[in-house]
Amino acid sequence: MAQLKIFSTGICPICDKTKLLLNKWGIAYDEIRIDTDMEGRREFIEKTNGARTVPQITIHDQWIGGFSELTELHMEGSLSELME
């Protein structure tokens, strides 16, 4: 199981962009499709305190936010530290 989870839907272009970046950065992730996985949707609501947009990302079960927060962490160099 990957340390990073991305909660997404099948029709979200920002989710696709996020997954492309994670692949480019060589970061393994588990994708939870909240539009097709009801158990995943419950986890999404619980972990993100009821967030209403995707993508939402957790690292080691800690919610970090969405695409903007992920790229900010990467640019600051903090993402590598969180992944350890």
Alpha-helical (H) ranges within the chain are: 13-24, 38-47, 67-76, 78-83
Tens digits of residue pLDDT in 27-75: 999 999 999 999 999 999 999 998 999 999 999 999 999 999 999 999 9
Task: Look at strands 29-33 and 4-8 and give their pairing.
Answer: parallel
Query: Rounded distance, CA 39 to CA 43, Å?
Result: 6
pLDDT value at residue 53: 96
Q: Are 18 and 57 in contact (CB under 8 A)?
A: yes
Domain boundaries, the chain: 4-83
Look up the CATH number of domain 4-83. Answer: 3.40.30.10
Backbone angles phi, psi at 56, to 5 degrees: -125, 140
